[in-house]
Amino acid sequence: MTCNQEKNKANCSCTYEPCARKGNCCACIAYHRNKREAPGCLFPADIEKTYDRSLKRLATCYK
């Protein structure tokens, strides 16, 4: 299985521009999981822009 980074980048909602993982979903998920966070693509756009990727913030978005 291969990662289609260019296609993923086109659909990536992360607004953190210097992110080296943009389009590499596996690396993004692993990075945020290790920090006990969720990736930005799981948040609504207005919340994603705050860069608060905490699991607590994610839970409040979907209550």
Confidence category of residue 1, pLDDT binned at 50, 70, 90: low
pLDDT digits 0-9 by tens, 7-59: 999 999 999 999 999 999 999 999 999 999 999 999 999 999 999 999 999 99
Residues in a beta bridge with 54: 37
CA distance 50 to 47: 5
| Residue 40 contacts residue 47 (beta carbons within 8 Å) | no
CA distance 47 to 31: 19
One-letter amino acid of 33: R
Question: Where are the chain's structural domains?
Answer: 38-63
Q: What predicted TM-score, i.e. pTM, was given to this entire model?
A: 0.85
